[in-house]
Amino acid sequence: MRLGFLASHGGSNMQAIIDACRRGRLDAEPCVVISNNSRSGALRRADAADIPSYHLSERTHPDGDALDRAILDALERHGVSLVVLGGYMRKLGPATISRFRSRIVNVHPALLPKFGGRGFYGKAVHEAVLASGDRVTGATIHLVDEQIDHGPIIAQREVQVLDGDRADTLAERVSAVEHRLYVATLRRIVSGDIDLDALWQARRRRRRRIVSGYIDLDARRQARRRRIVSGYIDLDALGRSQ
């Protein structure tokens, strides 16, 4: 499997994957690195690993469609079969997403769908987790679609929030888990243990059932309310279990 990376900053997740490939722990070939930041650590890591790299951004391509095509062209030119995002701070364009549908994966430093979406990246994610009072956070690997942090979830791993944690201490532990989870998940994708097409199609089937009314969300909510009123759902018990 030929991997194409997109990263905006340090590229530590990318480095963990490159190391796994070079050490024989992941049967894949890192073949290109793209960054929207000309000074990113990801580009320096690519140079050190002798991997072709490109700075493609609004500075090199002010027109959004042209940038989208340039990214797609670079990925196709290097024969990429799976696009791997690692801290890429830009939304991919429609041409790239369409061409690599169900073949773009991303890592997020929380347990999606919580603490995801616009504005939730980097330190802001961990600050939000701490502010919420949650005792568990983690890392998520998911497929990428047209929305931010929205595609089907492939894998997750929990990280405990410790007493006295700050955003930086929590980020350090989550990052270490991200590295291991990303490599392990890619290994399962390469081996065929994880079927990305099946994940994507399962989500599409669920969407169609919702649109057709086969999944009646209003009816589900009403049924849940009736169970709460009848005492079938014991909210006190639920609170004690959390």
Tens digits of residue pLDDT in 165-186 = 999 999 999 999 999 999 999 9
The 3-state DSSP class for residue 182 equals helix
Report pLDDT digits (tens) over 70-99.
999 999 999 999 999 999 999 999 999 999
Residue 239: pLDDT over 50: no
pLDDT over 70 for what percent of the chain? 84
Query: What is the residue type of 49?
Result: A
* pTM assigned to the model: 0.83
Looking at domain 2-195, which CATH architecture does it have? 3-Layer(aba) Sandwich (3.40)
* Measured torsion, CA atoms of residues 79, 84, 86, 89, in degrees rounded to the nearest 10: 80
Triad 140, 114, 36: Cα angle to 5°: 60
Token couple for 1: 């499997």
Q: pLDDT digits over 131-175, tens only? A: 999 999 999 999 999 998 889 999 999 999 999 999 999 999 999
Q: Where are the alpha helices (DSSP H) in the chain?
A: 12-22, 41-48, 64-77, 94-99, 123-132, 167-191, 196-212, 217-230, 235-241
Q: Which residues are catalytic?
A: 108
Q: Looking at this protein, which amino acid is placed at residue 95?
A: A
Contacts of 193 (CB under 8 A, 6+ apart): none
The residue length of the chain stands at 242
Q: Which amino acid is at 13?
A: N
The domain ranges of the chain are 2-195, 196-242
pLDDT greater than 70 at residue 212: no
